[in-house]
Structure 1
């Protein structure tokens, strides 16, 4: 049970750390080879760019988990605790609807690109894999939103 709890609490952190570390190493190799050896491989820049895209979408899930996504707090300052919790629950449900739309559209684009067989210029990997970042990242976000909704409902019941 401890391993599952650790994965639940730190999954995005581990994934983001690995992606960021890889991107930093790739960019450092690119810079070293370009300016010291005067011959830089094109694939390092391309892979770093794709890793950055994945990092953004996994980062959305991390922001949701930490409840740090963009919001307007002005209204929340004047509301009661019960009203605050209710608004948070409603906004999380609206965010889930947004995520579902993007997941559906992003999956359609990724599947289309995979069926076309389009590949990246330097790495020759299917571009559909790059475009799967949005459906996968926002699917993780939905999991975190559901966890937040459950937490908010429990806190709302505790106010009674």
Structure 2
């Protein structure tokens, strides 16, 4: 149970840190080998590209979890506290519908892929699985948020350090 709780809290961060470090190291060695040793690593650019694709989709789930996606705040200024809560729930439901559709379509596309990458000979299913995994994680995070928002609908919102965002 402790492991599941830890994974629920940190899985996106761990994956993003690993992929970021991998990308930086690969790109650094690629640049160093080109400029200092006069040869290019055939597989480096491809692996860095695939790691970046995975970072994008895992980043979507991370943004959902941290409530950091772009939003228009005009309606938040007009509506009261209850109206903002309703608006947040509706926005999350719409985002969930989008994430589920993308997950489903990604699953369909994944079933049709039967190629390998040119430099790594990596099955392309690995690359095409990024939207599926990222949007599935985002869907899970959205469901968690919607359940929490509905449960706490009539409660006063507590101010936490995580929710305080400086206005620019």
TM-score by length of 1: 0.93
* Residue in 1 that maps onto 2:77: 77
Q: Which has the higher helix share?
A: 1
RMSD (CA atoms): 1.1
User: Aligned ranges for residues 8-27 of structure 1 at < 5 Å?
Assistant: 8-27=8-27
* Residue in 2 that maps onto 1:48: 48
CA shift for structure 1 position 32: 1.0
Q: Aligned partners of 2:43 and 2:12: how far apart in 1?
A: 26
Runs of 4+ with deviation above 3 angstroms: none
* Residue in 1 that maps onto 2:120: 123
* Residue in 1 that maps onto 2:142: 145
Cα pair 1:109 1:128 within 8 Å, conserved: no
Q: Aligned partners of 2:110 and 2:69: how far apart in 1?
A: 26
CA distances 1:10-39 after superposition (whole Å, capped 9, x unpaired): 110111000100111111111111111111
Q: Aligned partners of 2:115 and 2:2: how far apart in 1?
A: 42
* Residue in 1 that maps onto 2:164: none
Cα pair 1:33 1:40 within 8 Å, conserved: yes
* Residue in 2 that maps onto 1:135: 132
The gaps in structure 2 that reach 5 residues or longer are: 157-168
The gaps in structure 1 that reach 5 residues or longer are: none
How many residue pairs get aligned? The number is 156
Q: Aligned partners of 1:77 and 1:150: how far apart in 2?
A: 24
